[in-house]
Structure 1
Amino acid sequence: MSPDMNITDPAYVAARAELDLLWARGTAFLGSRVAILGGAMSWVSERNLVSAISNAGGFGVIACGAMGPALLEAEIAATKALTDKPFGVNLITMHPKLDDLIKVCVAAGVTHVVLAGGVPSGSAMRALKDGGAKVIGFAPALVLGKRLMKLGADALVIEGSEAGGHIGPVSLTVLAQEVLPHLRDLPIFVAGGLGRGDAILGLLEMGAAGAQLGTRFAASTESVAHARFKQAFVRASARDALPSVQLDERFPVIPVRGLVNDGTKRFLVHQAETLRRFQSGELTKEAAQLDIEHFWAGSLRRAVVDGDIEGGSVMAGQSVGMVTSIQPIAEILEELVGQAVQALMRRQPQGAGTGLPQRVDAASPQAA
């Protein structure tokens, strides 16, 4: 929020009330004060960050990632010890112990579970819903959004390719136009490249119920990410966050957006060398594919935990260019809300709510 904004100003009060109305569906669904979720980021979205987001009025989400059931159970308990506000858990549908992880969430009374990484099975959806959890699905296309609705999803996240980490092929700008006008029966949260409140406002007015942010929170004070990892975000511009490159269509590379570094450059060299070995008969196609896939094994942990920002995978969305300092979570959320409110206030007629004469445009009927 701008330091010169007066929250008792009637114009501010009216604009804030309008914002609260725009995302009322999202706040009601999440049980939070503002309809902003924390994106689930492996090694980053743990108890400290999740509780900080929820305590500040947003909605934190634990990234289960590759955790086993016992570790997830401990993380949920530790998060509950730090906040009495609602938070969720993100589960990867391809996890080999998904059923056990669902049981952990249900037993712990987790209110919201985000299922990511693919279309969940009907049995997984039923187990969560029968256990009392609300299910949020990821929809990278309208057709998948409709399918998730039929499966029983209670809400959706549509994430554009501007996001960090694993991404789909379509930008949020296009995805929002494709999905929001046609799926009105459940709350939809938008994600991908979002770093300002006025941008979130525009999507709320298109029909979104709220937004999900990851990159700005990853570089927050409460984030446990290594100091070098956070400083890489502060130094970066939007053009530094690029998706991984695939050299040969026979050896698909799952697109992941991160900051370009020595690791990303070596990955290209590694692909080229692996392709040469395959073509010479030294490697089978299966062995070559595994060799390419294993290149990044453990690289995210090296970057986040160990601070290896040159050889590790520094996953970041294009909103990284809007990260200019390491801020507390509460300050980030306050700033986002303030930007949205200021945008709404700029639309008000001059003097509205202040007791001053309102401006009348010469072309308006009142000017006659």
Structure 2
Amino acid sequence: MTAPHAADPTTDPARRAEARSRLDRLCARGTRFLGSEYALLAGAMSWVSERNLVSAISNAGGFGVLACGAMEPERLAEEIAATQALTSRPFGVNLITMHPRLDDLVRVCLDAGVSHVVLAGGIPSGPVIRAIKEGGAKAIGFAPALVLAKRLIRLGIDALVIEGSEAGGHVGPVSLTVLAQEILPHIHDVPVFVAGGLGRGDAILSYLELGASGAQLGTRFAASRESIAHERFKKAFLRANARDAVTSVQLDERFPVIPVRGLSNAGTRRFLEHQAETLRRFQAGELTKEAAQLDIEHFWAGSLRRAVIEGDVENGSVMAGQSVGMITSEQPVSEIINELVDQAIDALIRQEERARHG
């Protein structure tokens, strides 16, 4: 006779409640800092992270973040007000540190009562961090290396995001696996959120156990039902594998290309041709070095909007992280968040089973 199969421990309500309590304890610092039910920070994606998606994430217990991008202060004020009309829960605003009107944008956030300001696209200055804190909000910064994490803490940052090269959009050169080992054991002064290539709750759990306070996700939310991205943009995500999300290639070190991760398409292939032609024209004396650099930088102007809003996924910039390969359907935001939490709970129960039975 064969032995009867043991009941699946992940279906036991008491075990799930106990594991959920453990998960809550692991996330406690992150949820306390964000003021949300879950320590899930949304990555800010230009043209995607607007009022509808941000409010949906916050309403589902995560922490939505508006992408200011190139918005002027008046436009940002409108978007914050529109988001506040859709949710009573906290959300943040992502500001680009190189924006020429950064001080004005900070003032808009503070006047509107935004609780958290995320400073991206460079190392923020001490005065900007101070202005945010003195205005009653929390300042969050990105740390692509341990030395920069320590510098930001000295400048007064309230929390850090460490984002690996697996992420979509503008990325650094180091994977999250390495960044987490480099930074998490040494930074205890502020909450640290991990980001880059995260698509499952059990993976997030592994970083929480290493000392992270929570996680930031973008790619999975970009393809959610509440995302205003064009249907063709979302379908490109559903078709893609992890290997399709590649970083932009630089042909010549004299002409730096900011690495951006997105889905390979006709636009990325044409960008290589454009660089080669620009390089030829520079070497032939037809362009100055400055003109050639600008020509390369301007290639993608407007291309993200073309992909996200107009649905031109062949010629536009389809920014996506390597977790895109895990997206198999267009889900509501609440379903995505519940799935991530359930996966983390399942993993905790299985851990306990292994510990019990050796």
Q: Same fold (TM over 0.5)?
A: yes
Question: What residue is the counterpart of 1:309 in the other structure?
Answer: 313
- Residue 55, structure 1, aligned to residue 63, structure 2: no
8 Å Cα contact 2:195-2:216 kept in structure 1: yes
Matched residue of 2:109: which SS?
helix
Q: CA deviation at 1:349?
A: 3.5
Matched residue of 1:82: which SS?
coil
Residue of structure 2 aligned with 1:103, choices 100, 107, 111: 107
Name the CA distance, whole Å, in 2 between partners of 1:21 and 1:97: 40
What is the 5 A alignment of 1:228-307? 228-307=232-311
User: How many correspondences in the alignment?
Assistant: 351
Q: CA deviation at 1:9?
A: 1.2
Per-residue CA deviation, residues 264-323 of structure 1 (Å, 9 max, x unaligned), is 000000000000000000000000000000000000000000000000000000000001
- Residue 205, structure 1, aligned to residue 209, structure 2: yes
Matched residue of 2:85: which SS?
helix
* 2:54 maps to amino acid: V
8 Å Cα contact 1:23-1:210 kept in structure 2: yes
* 2:119 maps to amino acid: L
Question: What residue is the counterpart of 1:223 in the other structure?
Answer: 227
Name the CA distance, whole Å, in 2 between partners of 1:344 and 1:8: 13
Q: CA deviation at 1:348?
A: 2.1
Per-residue CA deviation, residues 90-144 of structure 1 (Å, 9 max, x unaligned), is 0000000001001100100100000011111111111111100000000000000
Question: What residue is the counterpart of 1:64 in the other structure?
Answer: 68
Residue of structure 1 aligned with 2:155, choices 151, 156, 159: 151
Question: What residue is the counterpart of 1:341 in the other structure?
Answer: 345
Matched residue of 1:223: which SS?
coil
Name the CA distance, whole Å, in 2 between partners of 1:348 and 1:298: 50
Matched residue of 1:257: which SS?
strand
8 Å Cα contact 1:296-1:313 kept in structure 2: yes
Question: What residue is the counterpart of 2:120 in the other structure?
Answer: 116
Name the CA distance, whole Å, in 2 between partners of 1:8 and 1:89: 40
8 Å Cα contact 1:194-1:319 kept in structure 2: yes
* 1:199 maps to amino acid: A
Question: What residue is the counterpart of 2:333 in the other structure?
Answer: 329
Name the CA distance, whole Å, in 1 between partners of 2:36 and 2:114: 15
Name the CA distance, whole Å, in 1 between partners of 2:9 and 2:66: 34
- Residue 167, structure 1, aligned to residue 171, structure 2: yes
> TM-score w.r.t. structure 1 length?
0.94
Name the CA distance, whole Å, in 2 between partners of 1:279 and 1:242: 28
Residue of structure 2 aligned with 1:23, choices 24, 27, 30: 27
Name the CA distance, whole Å, in 1 between partners of 2:126 and 2:216: 25
Q: CA deviation at 1:8?
A: 6.9
Name the CA distance, whole Å, in 1 between partners of 2:275 and 2:139: 38
Name the CA distance, whole Å, in 2 between partners of 1:142 and 1:89: 24
Q: CA deviation at 1:7?
A: 7.5
What is the 5 A alignment of 1:130-149? 130-149=134-153
- Residue 13, structure 1, aligned to residue 17, structure 2: yes
8 Å Cα contact 2:202-2:347 kept in structure 1: yes
* 2:343 maps to amino acid: Q
Per-residue CA deviation, residues 37-79 of structure 1 (Å, 9 max, x unaligned), is 1100000000000000000000000000000000000000000
Q: 1:171 to 1:6 in 2, by over 3 A?
A: closer
What is the 5 A alignment of 1:36-51? 36-51=40-55
8 Å Cα contact 1:7-1:13 kept in structure 2: no
Per-residue CA deviation, residues 223-276 of structure 1 (Å, 9 max, x unaligned), is 000000000000000000000000000000000000000000000000000000
* 1:84 maps to amino acid: S
Segments of structure 2 that go 5 or more residues without pairing to the other structure are 1-7
Name the CA distance, whole Å, in 2 between partners of 1:127 and 1:85: 23
Computed over aligned residues only, the root mean square deviation of the Cα atoms, in angstroms, reads: 1.4
Moved over 2 A (4+): 4-8
Name the CA distance, whole Å, in 2 between partners of 1:146 and 1:97: 27
Name the CA distance, whole Å, in 2 between partners of 1:156 and 1:197: 20
Question: What residue is the counterpart of 2:97 in the other structure?
Answer: 93
Segments of structure 1 that go 5 or more residues without pairing to the other structure are 353-358, 362-368
Q: CA deviation at 1:6?
A: 7.7
* 2:72 maps to amino acid: G
Q: 1:193 to 1:349 in 2, by over 3 A?
A: closer
